[in-house]
């Protein structure tokens, strides 16, 4: 039986032309590759539709900022490695220290570079690359001050009018509704941000962790007796 | 016939005193600026595709030289019984519980049924992607969606201002004060011909003005029950009650 099979294969090996011997494995591997790419594409589309897209095909949620600003050292409470390799204690600063308008306005606000300079004209060594960039932008080093082109991480579509202020107000008054908080702190504006933004204090490079799609908004609004009228957000 | 309105917190509405209107068009300009309405350049007029959430219509009354110009500002009447609402196949326009006829831009698919149903001709369709001159780059209102091509838009009673006013009142833990929330047109009106307020509040300025003998609504025979009430022009030449705007 086995001998017959081997004989058959030998016969095939003799009679099959060379180009076909090359083509068959190429087609096999190639079609597997096509299936893999299509599968990755489908996975990306389906997950992007349902929530956060999984980072196949090179798309991920992190954004490279012009200056490597570490939220960990500023907002975190642990011990972190800074840009020069030193171990530094996290400051545990409140989110609202820099994002000042979050409790009163629609936008959380990113501080001007002069705001960074208040501390960093003194704090931090001269050999640190990000701090040199900050000081250059603030005009402490050289004489060409310029604003920093921070990249937006959490972007709402244009037809959504999101206002931070009432959300912070509600969650501050209802600490039991706060989720995602890993530090266990649920009081004050900084404690409630995690509900939508995740534990930013532990992120070296801030990424969007919640899908922040309309389904998530509506579910939360329903659970908290918030308005679900379309015109509350779309106008 | 007036439909029985259910009890609710707010019933936003406007009273337009036609007697005070001078036809200055300040409301038109204010609305255009507030609500990111595309510019009406010459080609829009030539194609009869002008977009203007509020417009001042002009009539001539009498024969020259005994002739009078009559002005009447017309914006979305926010009808309680709106002809535009039931025809929308995707529920992009509906009546919310504050008496507003709401247009949800991201739901709209652009069938234009609503504009055909509107007897006041206050709905406008975006036939083109809106374009502003480069100088207007930072002039758009960030609180208002820029409508793209293919969707319907209309007066929203400056819902972004209503939201802000209600939000501020909630933050300060108080009721909305009458006159606190103003639409762009009422704020711009130099003669206070346009007044905006809450009809549910019996003491509000609009509620009091609505009781004026001169009040009327546009096209009342259609029974749309508008939330915009007009006060008729007082003509000193004629006996009272004869003229209607």
Q: What is the DSSP string of B126-186?
A: --S-----GGGTTTS-TTSPPP-TT-EE---SSHHHHHHHHHHHHHTTSPPPTTTS--HHH
Q: Where are the domains of chain A?
A: 2-50, 70-110+154-235, 111-149
- Segment B132-137 shows an average pLDDT of 86
- Asked if the model's pLDDT at residue B14 lies above 50, the reply is yes
Do B163 and A235 lie within an 8 Å CB cutoff?
yes
B153 to chain A: closest CA residue: A235
Do A235 and B145 lie within an 8 Å CB cutoff?
yes
Mutate to test the interface with A, among B35, B96, B166 (most CBs of A within 10 A): B96
Higher pLDDT, A90 or B124: B124
Higher pLDDT, B1 or B106: B106
- Asked if the model's pLDDT at residue B143 lies above 80, the reply is yes
Does some domain include residue B242? no
Residues of chain A positioned with their CB less than 8 A from the CB of B104: 230-231, 234
Does some domain include residue B205? yes
Q: How far is B29 from chain A (nearest CA, A)?
A: 20
Out of B97, B105, B170, closest to residue A234 by CB: B105
Do B156 and A235 lie within an 8 Å CB cutoff?
yes
Residues of chain B positioned with their CB less than 8 A from the CB of A234: 104-107, 145
Residue B240's pLDDT band, with cuts at 50, 70 and 90, is very low
Out of A158, A169, A231, closest to residue B104 by CB: A231
Q: How far is B190 from chain A (nearest CA, A)?
A: 27
Number of independent structural domains in chain B: 1
Residue A233 in tokens = 């957000």
Residue B118's pLDDT band, with cuts at 50, 70 and 90, is very high
pLDDT in tens, A77-112: 888 888 888 888 888 888 889 999 998 888 888 999
- Where does residue B168 rank: exposed (0-12), middle (13-18), buried (19+ CB within 10 A)? middle
Do A235 and B159 lie within an 8 Å CB cutoff?
yes
Residue B90's pLDDT band, with cuts at 50, 70 and 90, is very high
- Segment A127-142 shows an average pLDDT of 90
Region class of B223: left (phi > 0), else alpha (psi between -120 and 50), else beta:
left
Do A234 and B156 lie within an 8 Å CB cutoff?
no
Contact B50, B32 (CB under 8 A): no
Higher pLDDT, A53 or A75: A75
Domain that holds residue B42: 12-231
pLDDT in tens, A49-59: 877 777 666 66
CATH number at residue B87: 3.30.70.20
B159 to chain A: closest CA residue: A235
Give the ipTM. Answer: 0.83
Does some domain include residue B64? yes
pLDDT in tens, B177-230: 999 999 999 999 999 999 999 999 899 999 999 999 999 999 999 999 999 999
At residue A14, the pLDDT reads 84
Helix (H, G, I), strand (E, B) or coil at B59: strand
Distance of CA A1 to the CA centre of its chain: 61
Does some domain include residue B4? no
Region class of A179: left (phi > 0), else alpha (psi between -120 and 50), else beta:
beta
* CA A104/CA B27 separation, integer angstroms: 30
- Segment A147-158 shows an average pLDDT of 89
Do A106 and B143 lie within an 8 Å CB cutoff?
yes
pLDDT > 70: what percent of chain A?
Answer: 92
- Asked if the model's pLDDT at residue B13 lies above 50, the reply is yes
At residue B20, the pLDDT reads 93
Do A231 and B97 lie within an 8 Å CB cutoff?
no
How many degrees, rounded to 5, is the angle at CA B173 between CA B170 and CA B177?
75
């Amino acid at each position: 039986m086995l001998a017959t099979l081997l004989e058959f294969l030998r016969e095939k090996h003799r009679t099959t032309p060379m180009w076909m011997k090359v083509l068959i494995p190429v087609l096999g591997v190639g079609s597997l590759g096509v299936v893999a790419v299509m599968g990755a594409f489908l996975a990306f589309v389906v997950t992007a539709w349902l929530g956060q897209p999984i980072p196949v095909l090179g798309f991920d949620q992190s954004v490279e900022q012009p200056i490597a600003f570490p939220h960990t050292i500023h907002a975190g409470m642990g011990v972190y490695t800074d840009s020069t390799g030193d171990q530094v204690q996290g400051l545990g600063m409140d989110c609202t220290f820099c994002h000042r308008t979050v409790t009163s306005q629609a936008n959380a606000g990113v501080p001007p570079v002069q705001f960074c300079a208040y501390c960093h004209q003194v704090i931090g060594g001269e050999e640190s690359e990000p701090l040199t960039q900050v000081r250059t932008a603030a005009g402490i080093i050289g004489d060409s001050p310029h604003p920093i082109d921070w990249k937006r991480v959490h972007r709402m579509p244009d037809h959504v009018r999101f206002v931070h202020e009432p959300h912070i107000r509600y969650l501050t008054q209802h600490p039991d509704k706060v989720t995602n908080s890993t530090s266990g702190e649920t009081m004050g504006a900084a404690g409630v941000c995690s509900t939508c933004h995740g534990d930013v204090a532990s992120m070296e490079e801030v990424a969007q962790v919640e899908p922040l799609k309309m389904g998530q908004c509506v579910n939360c609004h329903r659970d908290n007796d918030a308005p679900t009228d379309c015109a509350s957000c779309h106008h | 016939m007036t439909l029985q309105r259910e009890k609710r917190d707010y019933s936003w509405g406007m009273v337009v005193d036609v007697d005070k209107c001078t036809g200055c068009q300040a409301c038109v300009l204010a609305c255009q600026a507030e609500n990111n309405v595309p510019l009406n350049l010459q080609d829009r007029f030539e194609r009869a595709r002008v977009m203007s959430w509020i417009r001042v219509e002009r009539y001539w009354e009498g024969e020259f030289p005994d002739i009078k110009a009559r002005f009447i500002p017309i914006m979305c009447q926010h009808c309680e019984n709106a002809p535009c609402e039931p025809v929308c196949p995707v529920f992009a326009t509906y009546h919310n519980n504050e008496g507003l006829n709401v247009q949800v831009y991201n739901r709209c698919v652009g069938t234009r049924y609503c504009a055909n149903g509107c007897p006041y001709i206050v709905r406008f369709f975006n036939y083109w992607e809106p374009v502003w001159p480069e100088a207007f780059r930072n002039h758009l209102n960030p609180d208002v969606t820029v409508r793209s091509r293919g969707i319907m838009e209309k007066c929203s009673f400056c819902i972004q201002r209503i939201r802000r006013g209600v939000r501020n009142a909630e933050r300060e833990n108080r009721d909305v004060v009458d006159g606190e929330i103003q639409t762009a047109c009422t704020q711009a009106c130099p003669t206070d011909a346009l007044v905006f307020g809450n009809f549910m509040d019996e003491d509000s300025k609009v509620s009091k003005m609505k009781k004026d003998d001169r009040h009327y609504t546009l096209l009342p025979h259609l029974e749309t029950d508008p939330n915009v009430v007009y006060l008729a022009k007082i003509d000193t030449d004629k006996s009272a009650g004869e003229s209607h705007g």
